[in-house]
Structure 1
């Protein structure tokens, strides 16, 4: 009976505990028309990067449609870069040089890669004459190269914004054969943000492990954040250090839970290169950066900043009207007509901002709008009461049958 009652209580707590509900305001709209609203790291963390949970309501509580500005599935045109050369040195490196014929500033490539179970380390450099090359990315990792359907897949890799005429990708082939890079390009609607968004919620501690000759930087935050770049301010003059990002994981083995460390990215810190490191997928609330010092003194790090690429939504707003932005984790993906009329690559609309974003108590809100007997709480109390009564009589019946 006790186990049965515990199960019922757990169901009740789960139902009310899993839903997370937050709201903010959009106000000070000066003119009617389409507006772009950049979502803060806090809003994205609360939604767990799932914008299916996001809704906008006007003063009459009517739903206001929106479009996600960098929604990749809306891409319609893939522009390939011209491959100038592709050379492989056996058991060493494969170098692919492409030309940025547009002359525009870019910060990403979309690679079409043939299926492979390999993991590849790569570096990217830029040049204006194919003679003098300048570092952009060093020893990044390309993994998960098996398509769910078909014989090839696409991978997007990021690097510091630049306008070099030529870009070179060097794949490390020392431990495995070359991979099949079929095309290198970029989708038209993948807009280039001039400025990354700072994540201010993370705190970090720097710890020196003298025995392992390592510097450990331990990051922690209140929620999981999407981290796309990390910038190091280093006062040390000359250095080249290998580093990696480690995440604490757990797995269940039979009846026990085992904790272990998982390395999710490798990179180099080099005084000659850009000190901003870019990542493909890092979404954690806690992680550790381990820097190998070998026989050198630890790096003198004065500051570390974390960033994410911006996510912007576009919505038609009216002048002098306030709007409510809600994150409700019980919602599903909305379907709006607006997505058929707006090119997500166009983000030159007036800007609007979300203010006063905070957690709300939906039960109290709903209670003020309708009678208690029409609320979810009343419905679940009735259901639980019914389950308890049935369970009570069922247990009594089982006892009578035993007698």
Structure 2
């Protein structure tokens, strides 16, 4: 039997040590950007370890849990219908009183937990089209009131009717009291930290009155925000596109295409801070349309991501380690989230330091014998083919000779 070589790929692993805490209790553990870039995109592979390899239960608290929404000038929409299927879903259809709509405000009775939803639009309540495929509401309780306002943002649309469907398969239903429009202001209960993402290289190309910027990172990174610093000209207003290059199969061949992530205006009278839809990319592009204007002199271009916080119960002066980077792991099943209410209190922060990068040993099993090498196998096949052709040629030659003699 001919044997080929078998190679086991390297698996990256990163380990961080939590600085010792002084008191027992719940802590918010900020995960450094350099660790997060090694974790899976859904963060399922994060583990906290105590002494002797014992797992420490935790849950990931989204940044939205630290943001309260202040509402004024609430204008209620008409709810056309509401239906509920037990242990399945709750559906609300409401009428859009405006020509276009990109935001709605929900008034919800206090609820402990999160709630997933999807949003659809229609002009006749018969044929529905998707707007938001997978949204989530967080921090659905108020510390002093019996209800809470939550605003949702979605792509600009002009449907006459909108339908929001809440997923009740794995959680209890919420009590949606009102739907409407209001002036909202987001107030952070604690400072929301955004960490800068290290950039490997930035290339500028001026072409067809456009500035094209190609940005590369060392690893795929989750991007939440772009910040710029422009030195000249003094006044400007430019349209910009933030996009990636993807590949797809067309007629059995692969072709590259441009996938737009976000579009925004770069203006001298506005802050040069742009929140973009979350995307995980190793290479991204920014294109600025200059038209007939001089190009922008960009002094600084930064990419940032919101900090990730793990909530866990830690004991004073004990040593804890956090690991990530093993994509074979699944989500852990801890019960700490179900019995912990952290939205009404500001938890102390524990920091991760001493980040160490490791790699599993690359194991390569190679055969040393000549007859076990792939090239030797192909040589044997080639020689055998030539021999078969030679024998076949001689047989045909003899057959033709016998026919002539007869």
Q: Normalized against structure 1, the TM-score is what? A: 0.62
Greater C-alpha radius of gyration: 2
Q: Relative to 1, partners in 2 of residues 1:192 and 1:265: Cα closer, same or farther, differing over 3 Å?
A: farther
Pairs within 5 Å for 1:94-243: 113-115=119-121, 145=131, 147=133, 154=135, 180=162, 183=179, 194-210=191-207, 212-235=208-231, 236-243=233-240
CA–CA separation in structure 2 for the residues paired with 1:323 and 1:168: 38
CA–CA separation in structure 1 for the residues paired with 2:228 and 2:104: 28
2:352 to 335, 342, 354: 354
The residue that corresponds to 1:343 in the other structure is 341
Q: Using the TM superposition, name which of 342-351 and 224-233 deviates more.
A: 342-351
Paired residues of 1:204 and 1:217 also in contact (CA < 8 A):
no
Q: CA deviation at 1:20?
A: 3.2
Q: Relative to 1, partners in 2 of residues 1:290 and 1:207: Cα closer, same or farther, differing over 3 Å?
A: same
Deviation readout 1:330-380 (Å, 9 max, x if unpaired):
21111112112222535622211111223224559xxxxxxxxxxxx8xx9
Q: Relative to 1, partners in 2 of residues 1:54 and 1:318: Cα closer, same or farther, differing over 3 Å?
A: same
Deviation readout 1:199-242 (Å, 9 max, x if unpaired):
231245352424x1011222111111111111111223211111
Paired residues of 2:31 and 2:310 also in contact (CA < 8 A):
yes
Structure 2, gaps ≥5 residues long? 78-95, 108-115, 124-128, 138-150, 165-178, 366-371, 373-406
Deviation readout 1:268-304 (Å, 9 max, x if unpaired):
1122222211112222111010000000001122212
Q: Relative to 1, partners in 2 of residues 1:146 and 1:337: Cα closer, same or farther, differing over 3 Å?
A: closer
Q: How many residues align?
A: 303
Deviation readout 1:13-64 (Å, 9 max, x if unpaired):
2xx44x4322111133222221111112222221133221011111221111
Paired residues of 1:25 and 1:322 also in contact (CA < 8 A):
yes
1:66 aligns with 2:58: yes
Paired residues of 2:215 and 2:285 also in contact (CA < 8 A):
yes
Paired residues of 2:242 and 2:285 also in contact (CA < 8 A):
yes
Report SS of the residue matched to 1:302: strand
Structure 1, gaps ≥5 residues long? 101-109, 118-142, 148-152, 157-166, 365-376, 382-387, 389-403
CA–CA separation in structure 1 for the residues paired with 2:300 and 2:117: 33
The residue that corresponds to 1:281 in the other structure is 278
2:309 to 307, 312, 320: 312
Report SS of the residue matched to 1:258: strand
CA–CA separation in structure 1 for the residues paired with 2:18 and 2:224: 26
Report SS of the residue matched to 2:328: coil
Paired residues of 1:70 and 1:344 also in contact (CA < 8 A):
no
Report SS of the residue matched to 1:303: strand
The residue that corresponds to 2:291 in the other structure is 294
1:256 aligns with 2:253: yes
CA–CA separation in structure 2 for the residues paired with 1:207 and 1:63: 47
The structure carrying a bigger strand percent of its residues is 2
Q: CA deviation at 1:114?
A: 2.6
1:21 aligns with 2:13: yes
Q: Relative to 1, partners in 2 of residues 1:355 and 1:57: Cα closer, same or farther, differing over 3 Å?
A: same
The residue that corresponds to 1:52 in the other structure is 44
CA–CA separation in structure 1 for the residues paired with 2:351 and 2:229: 30
Report SS of the residue matched to 1:349: coil
The structure carrying a bigger helix percent of its residues is 1
1:244 to 237, 241, 245: 241
